[in-house]
Chains A and B, each alone.
Chain A
């Protein structure tokens, strides 16, 4: 039986690490900033839940600040232009849906896809993070489960009316996630985060979210594989 390779030691101060970190750190900061904007927008769209959504938005702002501190700790300047470009398509789809008052698509993008993406990436990152970033990220990931839960509960409560709309939003947006993962594959590997591991954790988190919303196993697998195929 082959043996499991030992985890290599990571030099957090090496130029290679810092270069990759400048993009990954920027993505995380930008992701949290956009999450803040998205929850503020959702609070306008769902006035009955305004207080809860604003409180979720504020958490995202705190997360962004935490991750900025992680960058400073390693003396890395985050490449924010890269990060804004990285999120531009998903961001564009959210904006378009918000303009059309399409709450379902907005929730699928922010509360399911982005939160699951964040949860899986943070969970994979924690064991390989530097000590400072590990503590920050462990705190953040706990909050993100709350955000995911908000989206799940809303979509579950309205499942019969919004099921088809969720499937459409999935079809339109999930392939973007696979493309985004491909885009950061090399940088993530420098941080000792493997793409297949990221995909697996994302599919677990997202599959569980879809199941909590009300989809059966067969529908969940179909929705996941659809995203994968479209990205190929």
Chain B
């Protein structure tokens, strides 16, 4: 059985979702309450592959809210994640994806040091960040969406914002070895890590964000930012494909500009309807079929019975592993989201 550990995007949404799911007692509670709330299994999921294989899963709501980080309720935030993991293990889930902030909080606060939770010793092999599949899907989005806008990869410059992160570095590796992309620009804060990545790739220009944007035909956003940033759309090339795979979204999606195309990054569409309720409540356009690629990774690992922490630790994602997860992604009927919106 696979699992997904998820959370909601803010307190207001959490209250609405609680009401919609029939948890009336939770609907009028404040952040203080959510800081003490226990993890809950809120959905049973059935997924059928295009091969005909069917798997079962559980959705675990961690009760983490991003406001906990913003309000420096760090201990509460970290407890949410490890408690949700202990819950997932206790209910017998074989492989569980850490969605949204869960993996970010886990990595950032080194929660691998907290292995003992009450009477449970966490078995990290049962968990995956899902980042390998996310990185693979973002790369496929680059490869498949660009030609639709008349952008030829062999002549295109791709800027990766958040290039040194777990997903960003994987995207760079794939683009470097699997595509004939003309040029790459690496954007990140840490100079030392940028240099190391540049050396590993054997190419790529290091630039600041403002300097990079006017050169890019394609911008991949995978930075870990506390909130969306505003950019100068006038400075972008036209056309420009921007793939926003950050969590939370790196771009303010309300901004409009002709010639700038936005694609939701790291989202997959399944070929068959999935029986679940939770995605209807988390703002997916086609909730029976669309989901975060990191969640889909735990489904793929369950389909293949690869009960191991396929994506784990920082900057461990190889092109071979991306190819492996990509192959089973196609086999079971997942496709990268390609609905491009002119921003």
A interface, CB within 8 angstroms of B:
1-5, 119, 123, 141-142, 145, 194, 196-197, 199-201, 203-205, 207-208, 217-218, 221-222, 224-226, 228-229
The reply to whether the CB of B254 lies closer than 8 angstroms to some CB of chain A is no
Cα A194 to Cα B76 with chains together (Å): 10
Please state if A222 and B74 are interface contacts (CB–CB under 8 Å): no
Please state if A226 and B37 are interface contacts (CB–CB under 8 Å): no
Cα A5 to Cα B177 with chains together (Å): 41
Closest CB of chain A to B162's CB: distance in Å?
A: 13
Please state if A197 and B22 are interface contacts (CB–CB under 8 Å): no
> What residues of B have a CB within 8 angstroms of the CB of A141 in the complex?
119
Closest CB of chain A to B325's CB: distance in Å?
A: 27
Of the residues B36, B40, B74, contact of A200 by C-beta under 8 Å: B36
The reply to whether the CB of B39 lies closer than 8 angstroms to some CB of chain A is yes
Closest CB of chain B to A194's CB: distance in Å?
A: 7
A–B Cβ pairs within 8 angstroms, 11 of them: A1-B108, A2-B69, A2-B72, A197-B36, A200-B76, A203-B38, A204-B83, A204-B118, A225-B25, A228-B33, A229-B25
> What residues of B have a CB within 8 angstroms of the CB of A197 in the complex?
36, 75, 79
A221-B23, A221-B25, A222-B24 given; A3·B39 CB < 8 A: no
The reply to whether the CB of B78 lies closer than 8 angstroms to some CB of chain A is yes
Cα A142 to Cα B39 with chains together (Å): 23
> What residues of B have a CB within 8 angstroms of the CB of A199 in the complex?
36
The reply to whether the CB of B190 lies closer than 8 angstroms to some CB of chain A is no
Please state if A194 and B75 are interface contacts (CB–CB under 8 Å): yes
A interface footprint on B28-39 (CB within 8 Å = 1, 0 otherwise): 010011011111
Closest CB of chain A to B321's CB: distance in Å?
A: 26
Chain B count of residues within 8 A CB distance of the other chain? 33
Q: 8 Å CB contacts to A: which residues of B215-249?
A: 224, 226
A123-B118, A203-B36, A203-B37 given; A2·B26 CB < 8 A: no
> What residues of A have a CB within 8 angstroms of the CB of B201 in the complex?
none
Cα A200 to Cα B80 with chains together (Å): 9
A4-B74, A196-B35, A225-B25 given; A201·B118 CB < 8 A: yes
Most chain A beta-carbon contacts within 10 A, residue among B25, B35, B39, B42: B25
Please state if A225 and B26 are interface contacts (CB–CB under 8 Å): yes
> What residues of A have a CB within 8 angstroms of the CB of B83 in the complex?
200, 204
Cα A224 to Cα B38 with chains together (Å): 10
Supplied contacts A141-B119, A200-B83, A225-B26, 8 more A-B pairs, CB within 8 Å: A4-B78, A4-B109, A5-B74, A197-B79, A204-B39, A218-B23, A221-B23, A226-B25
Cα A201 to Cα B119 with chains together (Å): 12
> What residues of B have a CB within 8 angstroms of the CB of A5 in the complex?
74-75
A194-B75, A200-B83, A218-B23 given; A207·B69 CB < 8 A: no
Cα A221 to Cα B17 with chains together (Å): 14
> What residues of A have a CB within 8 angstroms of the CB of B38 in the complex?
200, 203-204, 207, 224
> What residues of B have a CB within 8 angstroms of the CB of A226 in the complex?
25
Cα A230 to Cα B24 with chains together (Å): 15
Cα A229 to Cα B26 with chains together (Å): 10
Please state if B36 and A1 are interface contacts (CB–CB under 8 Å): no
Closest CB of chain A to B18's CB: distance in Å?
A: 9
Please state if A196 and B32 are interface contacts (CB–CB under 8 Å): yes
Q: 8 Å CB contacts to A: which residues of B51-76?
A: 69, 72, 74-76
Which chain B residue lies CB-closest to A225?
A: B25
Please state if A1 and B37 are interface contacts (CB–CB under 8 Å): no
> What residues of A have a CB within 8 angstroms of the CB of B22 in the complex?
218
Closest CB of chain B to A120's CB: distance in Å?
A: 8
> What residues of A have a CB within 8 angstroms of the CB of B32 in the complex?
196
Cα A5 to Cα B72 with chains together (Å): 10
> What residues of B have a CB within 8 angstroms of the CB of A207 in the complex?
38, 40
Please state if B76 and A221 are interface contacts (CB–CB under 8 Å): no
Cα A41 to Cα B24 with chains together (Å): 38
> What residues of A have a CB within 8 angstroms of the CB of B25 in the complex?
221-222, 224-226, 229
Cα A55 to Cα B20 with chains together (Å): 47
The reply to whether the CB of B308 lies closer than 8 angstroms to some CB of chain A is no
Closest CB of chain A to B181's CB: distance in Å?
A: 30
The reply to whether the CB of B195 lies closer than 8 angstroms to some CB of chain A is no
Cα A142 to Cα B72 with chains together (Å): 34
Interface pairs A-B: 10 shortest CB-CB: A225-B25, A199-B36, A204-B38, A203-B38, A200-B36, A196-B36, A123-B118, A196-B35, A4-B109, A221-B23
Please state if B29 and A225 are interface contacts (CB–CB under 8 Å): yes
